[in-house]
Chain A
Amino acid sequence: MPEFSLTPDQESLRDLARKFARTEMAPHAAECDRTARFPEEIYRKAYDLGLMNLNVPTEFGGSGLGLFEQCLIVEELAYGCAGMTTSIIANCLALEPILLGGSPEQRRRFLTPFCASYQLASFALTEPSGGSDAGAIRTRARRDGDAYVLEGEKCFITNAPHASLYTVFATVDPERKHKGIAAFVVPRSAKGVSPGKDEEKMGHRASSTGTVRFEGVRVPAEDRLGEEGDGFSIAMRTLDQTRTPIGALATGIAQAALDLAAAYSLKRETFGKPISEHQAIQIKLANMAQAVHAARLLTWHAAWTIDHGGKGTLESSIAKCFASDAALDVADEAIQTFGGYGYMKEYPVEKLLRDAKLTQIYEGANEIQRTVIARELLRAYQ
């Protein structure tokens, strides 16, 4: 039988994240959203508490958590501020290729010094010409003696302007499509690496997103992860790991929207009674509660599947896709419950809608998730 109660260990991790989200993140969420400030002092505290490099084993200085525990933490953090959470968990995304594709020597060499202090890393896959079709990336890696020379541009890269390390995907031969992609670890300090400015975004405004240009950047061959053609598989396997926490992030947004809407409905009176006593609002709240609950359970199930050795491609795609759609719906209904106040920036619910939107787009747009779900599904019928 599956077990749905948390162990005391899991509860204490969740409590840590909850406390951090509510006391350190939430009080600054509105201000960072308004001004698009990147609250580095909060990220530094998250690092100090061990809330940052969650997936990196303890032997390299990370927190060494399974995916389930990561999801518990990410949901709580997102409840406080989704944008900050995106920046806090970007290291997990950026370092996963090293965990999956790096040799034991590379893992030690890159991860140990990186995790020893507060530093940010970015996962650099998406390019201006396209994100969904990762096999068609154009950034070139030309072999030159015992090194590669990188040439190209990445865009929409989380934390890029602040990162000290990038995991970069580039092609050694565009003709070879997926099979020509290689993954590299590139320090910000390498000559020719230039991050661009922060993009102005609709939501997740406490996070930073930007371009990175690679102009004649020499990367030693020993900093390539796996073989030349392994890059695509490393990227996809990375996303198989990190997709589920995006489901948790979306669940955190949805839970925040539900909590705000339910509390407001008890206070706001129309036609002589609290709006919570109007059946239309009750139905809304009931539907929102179902969506939040289902999103959480799908996320937990995907994490559990992967933690128990399953590939989890289907489960994590379902979790990410469902939870992100749920987050958008629930945030939308929360605004509707607030009426005109919900539309006002002075109230916290409209931010949740803007934040929820991104979860349908990044780490594999939901159209791609549905393609994956259908492919995995149909396989069983063929």
Chain B
Amino acid sequence: MEIVVCVKPVPEAETRLRVAADGARLDAEGVKFVLAGYDESAVEQALLLKEAVAGSTVHAIALGPAPRTEEVLRAAVALGCDKASWIEVPSGGSDDPLDAARILAAAIRGLPHDLVLCGKQAGDDESGLVAGALAEALGVPGFGYVVDLRWDAARSRFTFHRAVESGQESWECPGPIVIGLQQAWNDPRTAKLPAILKSRKATITKIAASGAAASVATPEKFELPAPRTGAKMIEYRTPQEAAEKLVRILREDAKVFP
């Protein structure tokens, strides 16, 4: 099975984000970009399928500027992806998720693919649009919010569930398909030290960016949420004391109950 997994460099969770001077984007200066969140789950899912289906290949693909994009691809290789391709676009380019999907689709069309995996949304802008748009651009079925993706070898089709409001849908579909993954049903693995060192020497194939249309959507303004005021910290020594103080506040100050 030929699996393509799309990964995106996103700011590390602990990074303090600042808005750039023009107010229309985040300042990338000094920000550490990593493979994280749903994309980690997508890679994990790809590797689980590879382990389950003999002869499979996992090809990680990413779109973005140097050096961060190359770094997340190396991280994907360290986790166990067999190949990595980098579509270099300059930093500060289009932020339009539809553009990203078009460019990825143009590249993926040239690669063997039975399954294209994405995280359900990127860990930074959380647009959640790329998987769907990618399916559309490739002209293949696409599914979002997928869990428990498996390959039914006897019937040559993928089986999976979609978590929906108050229930679960069960699906089956032959490839090629695009899947936006809710989460892996296993914890994403951690790359081992020898694999990390080996990934530093791995070949990252460059693919020229093509397929972008004139982007219509551009972000206008980024704002940090205003700091909230009015929170009251209760100091306490024992849980009993905390509860007593809380009850007194609820009763006397907030008058939630008499």
What is the size, in residues, of chain B's interface with A at 8 Å between Cβ atoms?
15
Q: Does B197 contact A (CB under 8 A)?
A: yes
Residue numbers in B under 8 Å from A15 (CB-CB): 34
The 4 A-B pairs at the shortest CB distance, nearest first, are namely A50-B193, A50-B192, A9-B200, A49-B192
Residue numbers in B under 8 Å from A49 (CB-CB): 190, 192-193
What does DSSP make chain A's interface, helix, strand, loop or mixed? Answer: helix
Pairs A–B under 8 Å by Cβ, sample size 26: A8-B67, A8-B71, A8-B74, A8-B200, A9-B197, A9-B200, A12-B74, A12-B75, A12-B199, A13-B193, A13-B196, A13-B197, A16-B191, A16-B193, A16-B196, A19-B190, A20-B190, A48-B192, A49-B192, A49-B193, A50-B192, A50-B193, A50-B194, A51-B193, A58-B194, A63-B193
| Distance to closest chain B CB from A344 (angstroms) | 10
What does DSSP make chain B's interface, helix, strand, loop or mixed? Answer: helix
Once the chains are docked, how many angstroms separate the CA of A342 from the CA of B252? 33
Residue numbers in B under 8 Å from A63 (CB-CB): 193-194
Once the chains are docked, how many angstroms separate the CA of A39 from the CA of B225? 41
Interface contact B192-A12, CB-CB below 8 Å? no
Interface contact B190-A16, CB-CB below 8 Å? yes
Contact with B along A19-42 (1 / 0, CB 8 A): 110000000000000000000000
Once the chains are docked, how many angstroms separate the CA of A8 from the CA of B202? 13
Once the chains are docked, how many angstroms separate the CA of A49 from the CA of B193? 6
Q: How large is the interface on A (under 10, 10 to 19, 20 to 34, 35 or more residues)?
A: 10 to 19
B190 and chain A: residue at smallest CB distance = A49
Contact with A along B162-201 (1 / 0, CB 8 A): 0000000000000000000000000000111110110110
A49 and chain B: residue at smallest CB distance = B192
Once the chains are docked, how many angstroms separate the CA of A49 from the CA of B196? 10
Given contacts A16-B190, A19-B190, 4 further A-B pairs with CB under 8 A are: A12-B200, A13-B197, A20-B190, A50-B194
Once the chains are docked, how many angstroms separate the CA of A8 from the CA of B196? 11
Q: Which of A9, A12, A20 has the most CB of B within 10 A?
A: A12
Once the chains are docked, how many angstroms separate the CA of A242 from the CA of B37? 37
Once the chains are docked, how many angstroms separate the CA of A19 from the CA of B194? 16
Contact with A along B12-34 (1 / 0, CB 8 A): 00000000000000000000001
Residue numbers in A under 8 Å from B197 (CB-CB): 9, 13
| Distance to closest chain B CB from A50 (angstroms) | 3
| Distance to closest chain A CB from B12 (angstroms) | 9
Once the chains are docked, how many angstroms separate the CA of A16 from the CA of B78? 11
A12 and chain B: residue at smallest CB distance = B196
| Distance to closest chain B CB from A297 (angstroms) | 21
Once the chains are docked, how many angstroms separate the CA of A9 from the CA of B67? 13
Residue numbers in A under 8 Å from B194 (CB-CB): 50, 58, 63
Q: Which of B75, B78, B192 has the most CB of A within 10 A?
A: B192
| Distance to closest chain B CB from A150 (angstroms) | 35
Once the chains are docked, how many angstroms separate the CA of A9 from the CA of B200? 7
Contact with A along B45-82 (1 / 0, CB 8 A): 00000000000000000000001000100110010000
